[in-house]
Structure 1
């Protein structure tokens, strides 16, 4: 989903971290991802979502993407996730950034994000937890770097999280900083 709102995405129903965490953990359980999200086979996962849940995806060349400057996007009207071909290939090869991109888009899908036009007073700006992009990023982080595994494996540094979950260093740093700020680490 492409955002141009004040927070980077579109205003959606507010969801807090705990609620998004529950959603991501349920998805891990339902899809059989369990405690090893680093072993997600992206191509197989997308095929499974398509067959079992009618969530389709289309791999397109850059020039054919709905918006040329994006790597992937979710179109709720057609129930289709559009993925740029190079990003899809990288995700299928377990590239950390590409995997996060796909899980981010999956977050839009499973959190029910739809682009809406919101009218609000100028002095009533959306809160961060009402931002579709923040929610999708949080979902991807919860799915790929689950807190229960971080605690059980004692992954108390960004480097440990990066290596264990095979995520980018940037994603691992953001995750550990957020968990520490929220008082969830040490476990």
Structure 2
């Protein structure tokens, strides 16, 4: 298990909102993650490879921040073209690793006490999942929506819609 630099949900939300603003989509509920992913790659910000499922084992994606390189499993990439929520989330998740975990010393938690001491906001996977939720389900555009409305308008899974709305209801 790894420990990353502590990053709060509010900081991650701010970063997601900055990305939305930079690409001119701060008022769009259905964020075109695949188009943005491909655009950023075409601009030379990172490279990516599509690999067969058997080459990726059980990984949907894998990011190498220092090399500015992302591997995406072929079926996930194809599903992203079909706008499947899980695939969309995977692309957003991997982008976070690229942007936030490059150049960062991520430490390996080896003992039970280190694992127990690690907070969610120090978990690089929690951080990337949080970013995907904040990017794909922007708080200011979904407040007052039902789970079903968030799923439809933001093209996300029921789990993501529920999770984001629960966090947003807390303030």
CA distance in 2 between partners of 1:41 and 1:120 (Å)? 35
Would the aligned equivalents of 2:3 and 2:118 in 1 still touch at CA under 8 Å? yes
Would the aligned equivalents of 2:20 and 2:135 in 1 still touch at CA under 8 Å? yes
CA distance in 2 between partners of 1:89 and 1:167 (Å)? 16
| Residue of structure 2 aligned with 1:169, choices 147, 158, 170 | 158
| Residue of structure 1 aligned with 2:80, choices 91, 96, 107 | 91
Gaps of 5+ in 2: none
CA distance in 2 between partners of 1:133 and 1:53 (Å)? 25
Number of aligned positions between the proteins: 168
CA distance in 2 between partners of 1:50 and 1:14 (Å)? 27
Per chain length, whose mean CA-contact separation is higher, i.e. which structure has more relative contact order (CA < 8 Å, sep 6+)? 2
Q: 1:60-89 CA deviation, whole Å, 9 max, x = no partner?
A: 111233xx1111111123211111111101
Determine the structure 1 residue equivalent to 2:96.
107
For normalisation by structure 1, the TM-score amounts to 0.81
Determine the structure 2 residue equivalent to 1:58.
49
Determine the structure 2 residue equivalent to 1:76.
65
The Cα of 1:112 is off from its aligned counterpart by: 2.5
CA root-mean-square deviation: 2.0
> Post-superposition, which runs of at least 4 consecutive aligned residues in structure 1 deviate over 6 A?
none
Would the aligned equivalents of 1:41 and 1:92 in 2 still touch at CA under 8 Å? no
Determine the structure 2 residue equivalent to 1:21.
13
CA distance in 2 between partners of 1:118 and 1:41 (Å)? 30
Q: Which has the higher helix share?
A: 2
Moved more, 17-26 or 51-60: 51-60
**Does 2:171 match 1:179?**
no
CA distance in 1 between partners of 2:40 and 2:123 (Å)? 25
